[in-house]
Amino acid sequence: MQHRRFLVTGGAGYVGSHAVLALCDRGDDVTVLDDLSLGHADAVPDGVRLIQGSLADAALVERVLAEPYDGVLHFASLSLVGESMQQPLRYLIENAGLGMRLIDACVRHGIPRFVLSSTAALFGEAGSEPIPEDATVVPGSPYGESKAMLERALFWADHIHAMRFACLRYFNAAGADPEGRAGEDHNPETHLIPLVIDAALGRRPELTVNGDDYDTPDGTCIRDYVHVSDLASAHLLALEQLDHGSVTYNLGNGSGHSVRDVIASVERVSGRKVPHRIAERRPGDPPRLVASSDKLRQETGWSPRFAALDDIVATALAWREARPYGFGNR
């Protein structure tokens, strides 16, 4: 794929910023649109244009898309399953509603390619594991529902307007750029690996484990952790597939790790104990979710550089130690 020009929504956020780095590393011209409500201006690399604004600003979206782009990568999203169970309509309006308006604007401006940061939360409590692309879509949360709605909108945008799309369904992005250029910086932090690391480093009180009575080998939830730089490379490979038609890929390491596995990994990598306590389950949490990436691997040659949990944790720990306050100086 030749060097091209892309718009990345949510490109100042965690996964989006790593995708921007991957695009820049191969020489593409990137513009980031982000309202900075969850992202950080300092996460956007030098030389990348940052437009601060919201997808809710229809006039701004029209102005931005009036410029020529070879594709849009859409990361801007509310992404907390637990919060979506408390504020379902907010998630449907902001994720699905604004996302559909963006898709509509892309169609009207003749954008040829659209890549959606989707989620394995589409599948709720899927029966098969690892979960294949043709598993029944039954979202277990409004967050998952919002992404399912966007996937259907993209289907029709392609079917009727021939805008090609890629939907990448993953979750539990983890780790940090191995060169230390970007990493996780959420306030408050909700992702498990940085929470476990901070507990090990004594930067927060003991870790709260939400439930240890699930139907899993050790009673804690099992999830599929994928290194954020590996996710970014998958987005670039999916873009190339759009030269041949629209694609949908489930994206995971193919093996799951429990909460207790993550605690043990952080203890191994850091050499410190992780203080933790058991609490009640959270609503909307399935016992296990592991995505298959067989189709992606076969069609694009994708293979994770950081397949081992300890390797993922090591990059997250290096970022946390080098940048204790993330992108800021709090």
The fold of 192-223+255-322 is UDP-galactose 4-epimerase; domain 1 (3.90.25)
Percentage, residues of the chain above pLDDT 90 = 86
- Mean pLDDT over the full length of the chain: 94
* Res. 128: pLDDT tops 80: no
Strands 257-258 and 222-223: antiparallel
Stated pTM of the model: 0.95
DSSP codes, 72-139: EEE------HHHHHHSHHHHIIIIIIHHHHHHHHHHHTT--EEEEEEEGGGGSS-SSSSBPTTS----
- The CATH code of domain 5-171+227-250 reads 3.40.50.720
Q: What confidence tens digit (pLDDT) does each residue in 11-37 have? A: 999 999 999 999 999 999 999 999 999
- From the list 143, 170, 225, 249, the catalytic residue is 143
Span 124-147, mean pLDDT?
87
Q: What confidence tens digit (pLDDT) does each residue in 37-59 have? A: 999 999 999 999 999 999 999 99
| Domain definitions of the chain by residue range | 5-171+227-250, 192-223+255-322
Judge whether 143 counts as a catalytic residue.
Answer: yes
Distance CA 173, CA 16 (A): 11
